[in-house]
Amino acid sequence: MKDSSFKKKKIGVLMGGLSREREISLRTGKALCKALVEKGYEACPIDVDRDIAGKLIKKKIEVAFVALHGRYGEDGTIQGMLELMGIPYTGSGVLASALCLHKIMAKKILLLEGIPTPPSEHLRREEIERGGAKKISLPLPLVVKPAREGSTIGISIVKKEEDLQGALKEAGRYDEEILVETFIKGKEITVGILNDIALPIIEIAPKSGFYDYRSKYTKGETEYILPARIPREKYLASQEISLRAYQALGCSGCGRVDLMTDEEGSPFVIDVNTMPGMTETSLLPKAAEFAGISFGELAERILLGASLKIES
Ligand SMILES: Nc1ncnc2c1ncn2[C@@H]1O[C@H](COP(=O)(O)OP(=O)(O)OP(=O)(O)O)[C@@H](O)[C@H]1O
Ligand SMILES: [Mg+2]
């Protein structure tokens, strides 16, 4: 579809939703909706709930801009519904969305493709009570994560043996599958991807030392350095492995790959986000702006990539 045809379409910006990241999605969705209207598109906000199919029909939505984070939005479920309804949508399709939101499955693909990711083990919730911490053979320090959350929800860094069982239980509150990963000591960086191009790298330096929910969404809690202060050769390698990770998982439209670099500066992929935060101060828009792409232009470029993916 060309720009001109999108200008005649009714665009629904799908936001909010049912996940724990609902509030962040509302911020993302509102910023995108405003930007699209300013660009001359007929975009309207759609708050996603279980009656979303009915809402889309009632509002005669012809194109969906998916601005949802987490489960029922970033995990392939909404994408599957839109495929069935025949409504073109932005971003990744069903399979890539489902894979990226499931950290254990995503890591399996990365490993198969030879893309560096920290060593890991995984447990099911019922195993936590039956032995739990004793089943983990990786050495400390470790990071314990629910398989399918975002915004650092349910994640703990474990430095002492006696804290491991509690961290597993905490992650088990959010998911029945739990990922235990080697802690990489070094710099945290993130690589935005727009239409198969890796954007400039942002270095993330949280004041607390841990990029948790508070550090992510409270102004002044984290310093963002653009471009990241890493040697040129490692910088290029990080962009390259990020793009490879994005492509290996089958992503489209846009994404953001989170990495840790170790003390030698070697990058490891820790997380691939198919619908990164998109408020005007979020990381992908920051990287795009540094590359000369304004927020409005970014929203428009993602919109113009809207399609049905299953039939193509
Ligand atoms: N292996 C690791 N080594 C060191 N720190 C880590 C590791 N894995 C995660 N972290 C820290 O925990 C944070 C959250 O981890 P991760 O990106 O996997 O989770 P998320 O909740 O899905 O994030 P997002 O908000 O990007 O969806 C990271 O930003 C990083 O600060
Ligand atoms: Mg992350």
Distance CA 27, CA 16 (A): 8
Protein residue with its CA nearest to atom 1 in ligand 1:
183
Residue 150 Cα to ligand 2 middle (Å): 7
In ligand 1, which atom is closest to the CA atom of 152? 21
pLDDT given at position 235: 97
pLDDT given at position 4: 65
pLDDT given at position 176: 95
Distance CA 143, CA 118 (A): 10
pLDDT given at position 115: 98
Where in the chain is CATH 3.30.470.20? 99-116+185-297
- Topology (CATH level 3) of domain 120-182: Dna Ligase; domain 1 (3.30.1490)
Three-class SS state of 121: strand
pLDDT given at position 132: 82
Return the closest-CA partner of residue 136 out of 146, 125, 123, 124. Answer: 123
Q: In CATH, what number does 99-116+185-297 get?
A: 3.30.470.20
Is the Cα dihedral 162, 167, 173, 176 positive or negative? negative
Protein residue with its CA nearest to atom 30 in ligand 1:
211
Distance of CA 75 to the CA centre of its chain: 10
- Topology (CATH level 3) of domain 3-91: Rossmann fold (3.40.50)
Protein residue with its CA nearest to atom 15 in ligand 1:
152
Q: How far is residue 30 from each of residues 23, 27, 92, 233, 257, measured CA to CA in Å? A: 11, 5, 20, 38, 23
From 175, 191, 258, 266, mutation site for ligand 1 pocket: most ligand atoms within 8 A of C-beta: 258
Across 145-167, b (16+ Cβ under 10 Å) vs e yields bbbbbbbbbbbbebeeeebbbeb
With tokens 């959010």, the residue in question is 174
Residue 270 Cα to ligand 1 middle (Å): 6
φ and ψ of 283, to 5 deg: -70, -45
In ligand 1, which atom is closest to the CA atom of 211? 31
CA-based R_g, the chain, Å: 19
Where in the chain is CATH 3.30.1490.20? 120-182
Give the ligand at the shortest distance from the Cα of 212: 1
Contacts of 256 (CB under 8 A, 6+ apart): 190, 191, 192, 193, 272, 273, 276, 283, 284
Cβ atoms < 10 Å from Cβ of 285: 25
Where in the chain is CATH 3.40.50.20? 3-91
pLDDT given at position 130: 86
Mean per-residue pLDDT pooled into runs of 10, the chain (312 residues):
78 95 95 97 97 97 97 95 97 98 97 98 93 91 94 94 95 96 97 97 94 89 95 97 98 98 96 93 95 97 95 68
From 105, 207, 271, mutation site for ligand 1 pocket: most ligand atoms within 8 A of C-beta: 271
Give the ligand at the shortest distance from the Cα of 143: 1
In ligand 1, which atom is closest to the CA atom of 182? 1
pLDDT given at position 312: 62
